[in-house]
């Protein structure tokens, strides 16, 4: 009995153990299932979070890209708007500048046209009213005086009178310049004629100096200066009458160059007078040595100098002792032009060699160098006066040409005659 109870207890305990094991297994299986499901859920939650994060990152990347694209488009639009505004502003400024240039050009053309019409009208009035100028001037003065006395417009009257006086001064300058250039033209003709006379006349001084190239060059320069003076006088007259500024400026420049050349030549002659005297002495000594005595042009010229200046030789009458004709002659010969007519008796022959009857035959004791120097000292005032007069005339021409050139407002080449 006891063994049966023990067996039952063992069976009951075994059953309980089995039930407890099953319960435990069920409980463990449930826990495992719950753990697996939790892990799966956790994994799923983790996977969903990562996917969400990836999706969020993708969405954020897409949103940032869209925002960047939108910002770039807005920046491009903003820059395009600024460029369009700058281009419009630039085009507006260019249009304003073009319009300003057109306005200035129209104003300048209008001023030139009005000035040209006024100048043409003034010239027509001058050409057409030459005969009525005095009468119109008197009428203008009377009208100005009536306005001054009746209305009391002092300033208007003063300006009117000053304008009339200014026109009168311009016309006076024009006429004075024309007269000066006419005198200058005549002076050039005289100068060129003097140079030609020195070259062509058989009794001129140049015949004695045929062996001196410097004297010949001086004569040619004299002729050239005369021709140039005639040309300048003609250009000055043309520029003064027709009021051509180009000719007036050229005339002023040439006058200035001529004046400077004259001053340089005068200074050269003054500082080189000893050299010129020595050169002249050498030339005349050579002429005396080669005096032919056959009535040539050189003989006639030198005889004319000795006879007109009452001199003999260059330094003294003993200079003729170097002449080979006199030295080699068995007779006592002397130039006939050296004979002192006031002391000699009998007929006078002014050229060639004469036979002196006695050694004390009367001749001029003074040399031609002293006679020339005495003539220059006697007439130095006249020479300096002529030089100063020429310089003053040239200065006056320069002043008049410059004044007229400044008062000529516009060139009018239609007034210049067509040749």
CATH of the domain at 355: 1.10.1450
Residue 229 lies in a domain: yes
Predicted confidence at residue 134, as pLDDT, reads 55
Based on its alpha-carbon atoms, the radius of gyration of the chain, rounded to whole angstroms, reads 62
328 and 260 within one domain: no
DSSP-based helix, strand, coil % in the chain, nearest 5: 80, 0, 15
Contact 140, 159 (CB under 8 A): no
Q: What are the structure tokens assigned to 374, written together?
A: 């005495």
Q: What are the structure tokens assigned to 42, written together?
A: 């956790």
Contact 332, 276 (CB under 8 A): no
Residue 339: what are its φ and ψ, rounded to 5°? Answer: -70, 130
Residue 416 has pLDDT above 50, yes or no: no
Residues 265 and 390: their CA atoms lie apart, in Å, by 14
266 and 250 within one domain: yes
Q: What is the mean pLDDT of residues 271-293?
A: 74
Residue 258 has pLDDT above 60, yes or no: yes
Q: What is the mean pLDDT of residues 28-37?
A: 68
370 and 388 within one domain: no
392 and 316 within one domain: no
Number of domains in the chain: 2
Q: What is the mean pLDDT of residues 73-94?
A: 83
Least confidently predicted of 2-6, 78-82, 95-99, 346-350: 346-350
177 and 322 within one domain: no
353 and 298 within one domain: yes
Residue 221 lies in a domain: yes
- Which is nearest to 176 in space by CA: 245, 131, 241, 242? 241
Angle ∠(313,316,318) on CA atoms, nearest 5: 85
Residue 118 lies in a domain: no
Residues 118 and 93: their CA atoms lie apart, in Å, by 37
For all residues of the chain together, what is the average pLDDT? 72
Predicted confidence at residue 184, as pLDDT, reads 79
395 and 343 within one domain: no
Residue 215: what are its φ and ψ, rounded to 5°? Answer: -70, -40
Burial of 335 (0-12, 13-18, 19+ CB in 10 A): buried
DSSP per residue, 318-386: GGGGG-HHHHH-SS-EEEGGGB-TTT--S----SSEEE-SSTT--B--S-HHHHHHHHHHHTHHHHHHH
Residue 210 lies in a domain: yes
Q: Is the sign of the CA dihedral 182, 183, 188, 192 positive or negative?
A: positive
Residue 149 lies in a domain: no
Residue 247 lies in a domain: yes
Given its phi and psi angles, is residue 310 left (phi above 0), alpha (psi -120 to 50 degrees) or beta?
left
328 and 240 within one domain: no
Residue 342 lies in a domain: yes
178 and 271 within one domain: yes
0.75 exceeded by pTM: no
Helix, strand or coil for residue 315?
Answer: coil
- Which is nearest to 367 in space by CA: 320, 298, 304? 320
256 and 181 within one domain: yes
Structural domain harbouring 307: 293-374
- Which is nearest to 256 in space by CA: 405, 380, 395, 74? 395
Q: What is the mean pLDDT of residues 368-389?
A: 78
- Confidence band (pLDDT; 50, 70, 90) for 226? confident
387 and 363 within one domain: no
Q: What are the structure tokens assigned to 311, written together?
A: 């001199």
Residue 299 lies in a domain: yes
- Confidence band (pLDDT; 50, 70, 90) for 326? confident
368 and 398 within one domain: no
């Amino acid at each position: 009995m006891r063994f049966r109870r023990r067996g039952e207890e063992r069976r009951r305990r075994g059953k309980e153990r089995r039930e407890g094991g099953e319960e435990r297994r069920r409980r463990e299986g449930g826990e495992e299932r719950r753990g697996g499901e939790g892990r799966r859920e956790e994994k799923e939650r983790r996977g969903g979070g990562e996917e969400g994060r990836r999706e969020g990152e993708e969405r954020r990347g897409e949103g940032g890209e869209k925002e960047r694209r939108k910002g770039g488009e807005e920046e491009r639009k903003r820059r395009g708007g600024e460029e369009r505004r700058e281009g419009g502003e630039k085009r507006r400024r260019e249009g304003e500048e073009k319009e300003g240039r057109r306005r200035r050009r129209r104003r300048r053309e209008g001023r030139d046209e009005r000035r040209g019409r006024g100048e043409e009208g003034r010239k027509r009035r001058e050409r057409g009213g030459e005969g009525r100028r005095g009468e119109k001037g008197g009428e203008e003065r009377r009208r100005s005086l009536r306005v001054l006395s009746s209305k009391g417009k002092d300033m208007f009257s003063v300006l009117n009178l000053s304008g009339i006086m200014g026109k009168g001064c311009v016309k006076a300058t024009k006429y004075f310049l024309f007269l000066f250039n006419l005198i200058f033209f005549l002076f050039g003709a005289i100068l060129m004629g003097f140079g030609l006379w020195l070259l062509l006349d058989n009794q001129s001084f140049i015949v004695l100096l045929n062996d001196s190239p410097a004297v010949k060059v001086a004569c040619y320069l004299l002729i050239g200066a005369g021709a140039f003076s005639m040309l300048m006088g003609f250009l000055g007259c043309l520029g003064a009458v027709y009021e051509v500024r180009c000719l007036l400026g050229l005339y002023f420049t040439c006058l200035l160059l001529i004046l400077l050349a004259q001053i340089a030549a005068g200074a050269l002659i003054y500082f080189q007078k000893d050299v010129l005297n020595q050169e002249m002495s050498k030339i005349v000594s050579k002429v005396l040595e080669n005096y032919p005595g056959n009535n040539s042009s050189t003989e006639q010229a030198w005889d004319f100098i000795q006879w007109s200046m009452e001199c003999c030789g260059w330094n003294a009458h003993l200079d003729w002792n170097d002449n080979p004709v006199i030295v080699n002659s068995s007779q006592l010969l002397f130039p006939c032009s050296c004979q002192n007519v006031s002391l000699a008796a009998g007929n006078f022959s002014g050229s060639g060699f004469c036979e002196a009857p006695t050694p004390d035959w009367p001749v001029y004791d003074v040399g031609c160098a002293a006679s020339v120097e005495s003539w220059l000292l006697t007439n130095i005032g006249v020479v300096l006066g002529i030089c100063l007069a020429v310089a003053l005339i040239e200065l006056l021409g320069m002043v008049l040409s410059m004044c007229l050139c400044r008062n000529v407002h516009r060139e009018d080449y239609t007034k210049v005659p067509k040749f």
